[in-house]
């Protein structure tokens, strides 16, 4: 098959990492693949190599929605399948479906945020919609009235799996701990993601500022990996709350494996998530999770087994869960192998890519067998 993956910009986000991973898995399976972006460059653009993207904007206009000559390029390339990744790409999925009746245009729902109007209208015009969580599939049915026959659930793939023979995190070299932790007993909480309002890192800082005092609880640090518009405000908040020395901002990391290996607990207080790549990756490295129950977060782990999912917005419950995990090293060690096994089995990249390819084959078979007027 000739497959296009459509992405507005290769910024440092979870959807963009999934785009790159799927493109490489499709190539490995023997398909002709092209990643088409609206804007040139982006923090993750080098990660696409050796694939070279087709870029629509002749120079970076900074407009994520602007896709000049998209229809003309698509008609010339005549892909069998176009997989639209991210909200901006999906706003163009409906007109692509109408302009290329022989192409299976597949939309995706990978966000917990509200959808732009063009995205919503496109849901009725595309050949199929892939939701990356059961919760997202429920929103497609209930909120957007998409027939269940037109929706498939394919969870995100594990982007940063540990090496097959890697030692458990607690036994691995942990260079970041040596750089940031005064003692070996410091318990490190980790949050990986862009600093955007919906990621709500500020609330996490407020929660840890109210944890049990050091006299009655283990020493702890909170590490953030990522960049974004909310980072400076979060750094000021940590300083204002008197915990600036215990909160570390490690910046964007193309591969955050070193942070996963050095941490003890994954934490997430997002307002909106469909499926969290971060929680999946953290568990693959043996980290238990504490997260607020939004979107498909509960599908990212085994609640009560590989971590705690608490009611979204309940800071008291979140803090109580943190105190429990921070104070129980034996529990963290016992949970680590369960988390590793669950993440590696449930979110295996090759298996997730195969699910997409199986869907594409089915859509292509249906189109070949349908009358010319059908769409």
Ordered DSSP codes for 146-200: --GGGEEE-PPP-SSPPPTTPPPGGGS--HHHHHH-SSTT-EEEEEES---GGG-
Residue 254 backbone phi and psi in degrees, to 5: -60, -35
State residue 180's pLDDT score.
79
C-beta of residue 55 within 8 angstroms of C-beta of residue 37: yes
State residue 373's pLDDT score.
32
CA quadruple 178, 179, 183, 186: dihedral positive or negative?
negative
Tell me the C-alpha distance between 370 and 375, whole Å: 8
Cross-strand pairs, 291? 268, 309
| Owner of token pair 């993207």 | 53
State residue 212's pLDDT score.
81
Residue extents of the structural domains in the chain: 2-157+348-369, 169-346
CA atoms in the 13 A half-sphere facing the CB of 83: 26
* CATH numeric code, 169-346: 3.40.50.2000
The two tokens of residue 112 are: 């917990």
Cross-strand pairs, 188? 221
Q: Give the closest residue to 77 by CA, choosing from 33, 107, 45.
A: 33
State residue 234's pLDDT score.
97
C-beta of residue 148 within 8 angstroms of C-beta of residue 141: yes
Q: In degrees to the nearest 10, what's the CA dihedral of 35, 39, 41, 47?
A: -30
State residue 369's pLDDT score.
60
Q: Do the domains spanning 2-157+348-369 and 169-346 agree at the CATH topology level?
A: yes
Residue 142 backbone phi and psi in degrees, to 5: -80, -45
* CATH numeric code, 2-157+348-369: 3.40.50.2000
Q: Give the closest residue to 10 by CA, choosing from 358, 27, 332, 49.
A: 49
User: Rounded to a whole number, what is the largest CA-CA distance in the chain?
Assistant: 74
- DSSP 3-state of 38: coil
C-beta of residue 275 within 8 angstroms of C-beta of residue 299: yes
The two tokens of residue 129 are: 């919609």
Instruction: Per residue of the chain (375 residues), give pLDDT as tens.
Output: 999 999 999 998 889 999 999 999 999 999 999 999 999 999 999 999 999 999 999 999 999 999 999 999 999 999 999 999 999 999 999 999 999 999 999 999 998 888 999 999 999 999 999 999 999 999 999 999 999 999 999 999 998 877 665 555 555 557 787 777 767 789 999 999 999 999 999 999 999 999 987 666 688 999 999 999 999 999 999 999 999 999 999 999 988 999 999 999 999 999 988 899 999 999 999 999 999 999 999 999 999 999 999 999 999 999 999 999 999 999 999 999 999 999 999 999 999 999 999 999 999 987 766 543 332
């Amino acid at each position: 098959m000739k497959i296009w993956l459509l992405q507005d910009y290769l910024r440092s986000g979870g959807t963009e990492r999934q785009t790159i991973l799927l493109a490489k898995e499709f190539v490995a399976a023997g398909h002709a693949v092209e990643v088409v972006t609206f804007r040139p460059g982006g923090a993750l653009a080098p990660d696409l190599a050796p694939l070279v993207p087709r870029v629509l904007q002749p120079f970076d206009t900074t407009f994520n929605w602007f896709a000049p000559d998209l229809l003309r390029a698509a008609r010339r390339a005549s892909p069998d399948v176009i997989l639209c990744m991210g909200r901006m790409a999906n706003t163009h999925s409906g007109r692509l479906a109408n302009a290329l009746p022989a192409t299976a245009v597949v939309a995706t729902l990978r966000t917990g945020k509200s959808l732009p109007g063009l995205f919503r209208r496109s849901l009725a015009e595309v050949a199929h919609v892939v939701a990356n969580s059961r919760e997202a599939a429920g929103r497609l049915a209930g909120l957007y009235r998409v027939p269940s026959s037109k929706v498939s659930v394919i969870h995100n793939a594990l982007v940063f799996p540990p090496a097959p023979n890697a030692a458990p995190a607690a036994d691995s070299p942990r260079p970041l701990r040596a750089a940031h932790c005064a003692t070996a007993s410091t318990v490190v909480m980790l949050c990986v993601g862009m600093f955007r309002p919906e990621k709500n890192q500020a609330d996490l800082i407020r929660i840890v500022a109210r944890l049990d005092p050091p006299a009655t609880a283990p020493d702890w640090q909170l590490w953030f990996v990522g960049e974004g518009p909310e980072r400076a405000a979060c750094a000021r908040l940590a300083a204002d709350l008197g915990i600036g020395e215990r909160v570390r901002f490690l910046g964007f990391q193309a591969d955050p494996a070193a942070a996963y290996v050095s941490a003890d607990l994954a934490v997430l207080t997002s307002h909106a998530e469909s499926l969290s790549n971060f929680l999946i990756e953290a568990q693959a490295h043996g980290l238990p999770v504490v997260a607020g129950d939004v979107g498909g977060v509960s599908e990212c782990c085994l609640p009560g087994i590989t971590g705690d999912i608490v009611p979204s917005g309940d800071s008291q419950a979140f803090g109580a869960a943190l105190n429990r995990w921070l104070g129980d090293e034996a529990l963290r060690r016992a949970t680590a192998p369960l988390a590793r096994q669950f993440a590696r089995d449930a979110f295996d990249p090759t298996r997730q890519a195969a699910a997409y390819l199986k869907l594409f084959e089915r859509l292509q078979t249906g189109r070949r067998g349908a009358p010319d007027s059908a769409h």
